[in-house]
Structures are given as structure tokens and as C-alpha cells.
Chain A
């Protein structure tokens, strides 16, 4: 009897293996240069992915000698997905991913530098260079190489209820933290049942981290100084923590903010229980029948130690991954260059909701009707300062400092009731220093 069972098992396993093998041979049949392209879901399912695949199809048609295969990668734990694939040699040839990903793989030596594209642009005085905001190319410049080309940028902002502002008699929008606090106090006084401000404050979805990044950047400071030393003990960071404490102590934010994810804060704003929402741009607010006529976004603000308003943004880019095949390299570079120059439809048809890096894209008639995106372009974009501030580019330790959310961790300590700012800063300072050390080794 046991021999029989063994046979059955052997048959099942070999069937399974055959099924696997047949899939692989089918893919290898064509003779074109095959490029695997991993893309993230930058917009809504059924809208963004359709536009992106159409763009890939267009490329394939224009370049009959190449076949780009489009694969959509889930956001959830994407770094691990990339890491596993890349370290075992089954990674993509080209990919878009979370902003700091190219830096992480460049440190491992897995990135194909894009210097030749930039050199060509400079030689030919390509108009594309003029079309990009200053400094955005440099966000992905590491150890003498351009490791990725940015194509969209991402920010956080304050969406507010114009009707509640009117009710409270607020006529001027705040442009400093102090004015923001005053506005929040006025709102609370005029309508105690509505929270003046809601925001995610949790660790998981990065709520506390994003709040702190907005605060630090607008107060002209970061966890690391421009020359790569920890700056967590800076009095400017104390000011950020004090600001969080004020929000909490004067009950300007809900008591349970420390546990809120983005969806919790959004729900409160949608249902009219909050006057201001801080977080990523939510196109849904501007599509909602009951909200769309009475909301807008606040102006950029500056902290007590800053000389001008600054708003944090993240550069999202497309990168090429190392490839031994010399012939393929050029095909990969060509595709990356083409994508950056031709990805307008991802914004207009794909409605990805981010800010395009090429300013000329915003001349498209689409932006006449896209209220939220137009507002961001007009109001917020001129004050953009990169998330790695005061450092210009993604630097190796940023992966850990941002990934483990040391800024957010400090904010959470304040949100949970601690007011010993110096001790909090010392704890996180130690973490930041060990992160910098770890990358030095």
C-alpha cells in the first residue's frame, strides 16, 4: 500500500513541476529584447493600471525590436518583494517604487546608473532639463551617479472646510505655526463639537512620521545635518515636539490620534466631524457631492525658526537595475528615458494624483478641471523641499531613519503624554547616530 501512495505522490509532484516548466518555456519563445518593468499602483485600480499598460503598449508598438512586459507590484511590503527578487537575480530590469528604493539598491550595487541619459540631455541641451524643478534630479544622485530619474512628486497638505472657517469668522489663512494654532483655537471655540484638526498619528501607516516631517521641514531642520551628523538634539526639533504637545494639550486633535491611521482621519473629515485634515491629497474629498463646494487647501506655512514657508515632498522615480547583458543595457536606458518624457497620460488618463516632475505636463487641459491637483501646483509646489532635507539626495542612512520612523517615534512619545523633550530627543538621537554609524562601517 505504501508503494502505491508513493506513486501517487510522485505523479502529483511531477505534474505540478511540469505545469511550472511549461509556463517558463512559453515566455522564452520570442526573440525580441525582453524588458521586465515593475510598476506600482500609483492610482486607482482600473484607471491607473489601464493607462500605464496602454503606455507600455505604445512603446512596444513604436519599438518593434523590444518587448516591455508590464507587471504591477503591490505596495504592501514592496521593499521586501524587490529585495528578495533582486538579491536572487530575478528582479526587474526597470522599476518604479517607493521614493528611497533606488538608493537602497544602489548601495548594494544593483542599480544601473543613468548618467549617459543625463549627459546626452546636457549635450543636446534637451528642453526636458528646463522642464524639471531645480534640484529634483539631484535627489537621486549618489556617489557620482544618477541612480534614478524622478517622474512624479508626492506631498502632504492641509485640506480645510471653508464653511467652518467662515462660521468661525476666519478670513485670513495661516502662514505660520502660531497663526495655525490660533486658527485651530478659534475653530474649537466657535464649534466645540467639531475637531479643529485630524491627522493620522500612528506608527504603522506612518501618520506620526509624516506629521513630524512636515513640521521639521517647515521649521528648517531635519534629523541629520547637511554634512551627515545627527541633528536630533537641535532646539528646532524641540519646537516641533512642543507644537505636537500643544495640539494634544489644548485638545485641538482627537485624544486617540496616536492610534489613527489615514482612514480614521479621513472618515472624520468626510463625515463633517473635523475642520482640517492633514495627510496625503485625497481626490475623493473633491469628488464628494456634499464636500466639494466647501473645501480647499491651506497655504504653505513656516515654523518659528524658518525664514520662509517650506513644504516637504518626496521625489518618486524610475530606475534601471543591473544587467549583465550589454546589448540589453541600451534598450533599458532607452525605455527609461522614453518613460520619463512620455508619461503624461499617467497623470491625465491614469489620474495618478501626484505632481508631475515635468512642468509642461500641467499645461494639459486636464488640469483645468482637476481642482485638487491644480491647487497643489499653484499653492504648494513652489515651496517644495525634499524629504531628505537638509541633505539634497537620498543618502544610505535615510533608509533606516525614515524606515524605522525615528521622527514619528519622537512624536508618538509626546502624543502618549511624555513632555521630557530632551530625554526623548536623546533617545532618538542615539538611534539616528547608530543608523549613521551602521551605514559608515
Chain B
């Protein structure tokens, strides 16, 4: 009996937390199902069943280049994510195991570099991009996103590798593995939750980035989703139902990605992995 009660409490708490966290997401979804004027007139969260209006979604998908912007965002975010995870895995491992001064200095420097507000570093950043011919390219965006996320990624993975007992690789080395093989076959699989976190983190950050993209990208065909969303914003007027529908559409791919990625957020160190 007691067990059921505590189970019930757990579910109630989980539902409560989820509800509070996605309250504005729900209102957004509700708004996307209303017509332009109903979005402003009817103050309830959702339209009544008979008034559900799907026209916003159709219009957003028909808007020139909106679908392409989703593809653009996916490309840029996935590229940044893959690079970041690979680079951070090696760098994090190196820092964790070799503890060289260069590495520690490097990571400290990366951290300090993040401390100036982006708003003010955009101008000089744009200048160097222009020199490298990276402005108005996806490559430029990808590099910017990598540099924005790499510090965290390296640092977090270092933390994970730190908590992996050295005995594990050492036993691998004794069995005749090279250091690289030991890293690949022993350390990485155990650090799956860390790798999953870093992937989620870099993907979401790049997907949602707006300030850098706004400055760097001018061509319509290169725009990312958050830039494309701005089309629904006028100087003093915003089409909230279209904007909400656009935001919902852009959320769907990320939601699938999160559902997929969180599967790997599972116990890396199973019982008995460490002997003694």
C-alpha cells in the first residue's frame, strides 16, 4: 500500500513539474490553433474544438523558404554537434588523463573568452569573418557555434572521464590494447550519458541561436529557422498566430531529436564494472 502511495505522489510531482515547465509552450500551441484575430480576442489557452484553425500551419509551410530554413538549421546544428562531440571527446580525455599545463591553460583561456557579451564582440567578429570570407556562409555559422559550445563540451566530458576509474583502461592496456583502442572501446561507451548531454547541448544551442545568425546571414536561402521566424514580425505589429505556428513547426524536429538523444542518458557505469 505504502508503495502505491509513494508511486502516486511521484507521478503527481512529475506531472506538476512538467506542466509548470511547459505552461508557455502550451499557450504557444493554443495560439497557433487560432485565427489571427481570435489569437488576440479569445483569452482562453486553447480554442474550443469547433474553432480549431489549421490555416496558420498551412500558411507557414507555404511561406517561401520556411521549409528550407528548417533544413538549413538542421544542417548547421548537426554539423556543429558532430564536430563538437568529437573534438571535445579527445580534448576532454587528454585534459583528464595527461593534466598538462597547456591543456589547462587552453581551457581557462576558452572560458575567459566567453565572458565578453556577444552583443559587443559581434562587430569585430564580423570583421574577421569577412577577412576569412566566412560571412553569409553556413561554414561561418558552424564555426561560430562550435566555438560557442566547445568550452562547455570539453569541460563536461573531462568531468566524466575524471570519474571513470583509471583501472579500467589500465586493464585494457594490459590486455594488449593501444591507448587509442582503450579510449574508443572502454572509456567512450561508459561515458555515453556525457556524450549524449554534450550532443543535446550543442544541438539545441545551435538550433536556437539567433544573434550571430542575424548578423552573419543575409541570403534568404541560407537563413536558419529563428531568422525565418522574424518574417512574421513587423515594426509595430506581430502576427502571433503565424509566429506561434512557425515556432511549433520548428520545435517538432528538436523534440524528436531530444526523444532520441535522451535514450542514451542511461547508466554508463553498471554494477560490477569496477572490480575492487
A–B direct contact (CB < 8 Å): yes
Complex Cα distance A397/B137, Å? 36
Contacts of A38-68 to chain B: CB distance below 8 A: 38, 40-46, 49-50
**B53-91 vs A, Cβ < 8 Å mask (1 yes, 0 no):** 000000100111000000000000001001100110010
Assess the A271–B41 pair: CB atoms within 8 A. yes
Assess the B137–A24 pair: CB atoms within 8 A. yes
Chain A residue nearest to B41 (CB atoms) is: A270
Query: Please, which residues of chain B bring their CB within 8 A of the CB of A84?
Result: 122-123, 126, 215
Quick check: is B183 within 8 A (CB to CB) of the other chain?
yes
Assess the B90–A16 pair: CB atoms within 8 A. no
Complex Cα distance A289/B127, Å? 51
Complex Cα distance A284/B40, Å? 9
Assess the A74–B234 pair: CB atoms within 8 A. no
Query: Please, which residues of chain B bring their CB within 8 A of the CB of A75?
Result: 230, 233-235
Complex Cα distance A72/B41, Å? 30
Assess the A20–B227 pair: CB atoms within 8 A. no
Assess the B139–A88 pair: CB atoms within 8 A. no
Quick check: is B151 within 8 A (CB to CB) of the other chain?
no
Quick check: is A190 within 8 A (CB to CB) of the other chain?
no
Chain A residue nearest to B83 (CB atoms) is: A12
Query: Please, which residues of chain A bring their CB within 8 A of the CB of B215?
Result: 80-81, 84-85
A278 shortest CB reach to chain B, Å = 12
**B222-243 vs A, Cβ < 8 Å mask (1 yes, 0 no):** 1000010011111111111010
**A275-311 vs B, Cβ < 8 Å mask (1 yes, 0 no):** 0000110101001111100000000000000000000
Residue of A21, A38, A42, A74 with highest tally of chain B CB at under 10 A? A74
Query: Please, which residues of chain B bring their CB within 8 A of the CB of A291?
Result: 37
Please tell me which stretch of B128-136, B167-175, B195-203 contacts chain A, meaning at least 4 of its Cβ atoms lie within 8 angstroms of it.
B128-136
Complex Cα distance A81/B83, Å? 28
Query: Please, which residues of chain A bring their CB within 8 A of the CB of B220?
Result: 71-72
Quick check: is B251 within 8 A (CB to CB) of the other chain?
no
B270 shortest CB reach to chain A, Å = 26
Complex Cα distance A8/B62, Å? 39
Chain B residue nearest to A1 (CB atoms) is: B180
Quick check: is B214 within 8 A (CB to CB) of the other chain?
yes
Quick check: is B51 within 8 A (CB to CB) of the other chain?
no
Given A12-B83, A45-B63, A290-B41 in contact, is the A24-B234 Cβ separation under 8 Å?
A: no
B172 shortest CB reach to chain A, Å = 14
Main secondary structure of the interface of B (DSSP, over half): helix
- B62, B138, B183: the one within 8 Å of A20 (CB): B138
Question: Number of A residues contacting the other chain (C-beta, 8 Å)?
Answer: 61
Quick check: is A108 within 8 A (CB to CB) of the other chain?
no
Question: Number of B residues contacting the other chain (C-beta, 8 Å)?
Answer: 56
A16 shortest CB reach to chain B, Å = 4
Quick check: is A23 within 8 A (CB to CB) of the other chain?
yes
Quick check: is A341 within 8 A (CB to CB) of the other chain?
no
Assess the A76–B41 pair: CB atoms within 8 A. no
Quick check: is A90 within 8 A (CB to CB) of the other chain?
yes
Assess the B59–A284 pair: CB atoms within 8 A. no
Query: Please, which residues of chain A bring their CB within 8 A of the CB of B37?
Result: 270, 284, 287-289, 291
Assess the B235–A8 pair: CB atoms within 8 A. no
Assess the B122–A89 pair: CB atoms within 8 A. no
Given A9-B86, A16-B139 in contact, is the A282-B237 Cβ separation under 8 Å?
A: yes
Assess the B237–A280 pair: CB atoms within 8 A. yes
Assess the B137–A19 pair: CB atoms within 8 A. yes
Quick check: is A77 within 8 A (CB to CB) of the other chain?
yes
Assess the A41–B214 pair: CB atoms within 8 A. no
Complex Cα distance A15/B130, Å? 18
Query: Please, which residues of chain A bring their CB within 8 A of the CB of B63?
Result: 45-46
Chain B residue nearest to A354 (CB atoms) is: B235
B243 shortest CB reach to chain A, Å = 9
Complex Cα distance A42/B252, Å? 29
Assess the B127–A88 pair: CB atoms within 8 A. yes
Assess the B40–A76 pair: CB atoms within 8 A. no
Given A24-B137, A89-B130 in contact, is the A72-B231 Cβ separation under 8 Å?
A: yes
Query: Please, which residues of chain B bring their CB within 8 A of the CB of A270?
Result: 37, 40-41
Quick check: is A5 within 8 A (CB to CB) of the other chain?
yes
Starting from the known contacts A1-B180, A72-B220, A85-B218, 4 additional A-B residue pairs (CB-CB under 8 Å) come to A16-B143, A76-B233, A85-B126, A267-B41
Q: List, sorted by A's number, 9 A–B pairs whose CB atoms are closer than 8 Å.
A: A8-B86, A12-B82, A23-B137, A24-B136, A71-B218, A88-B123, A205-B236, A270-B37, A271-B42
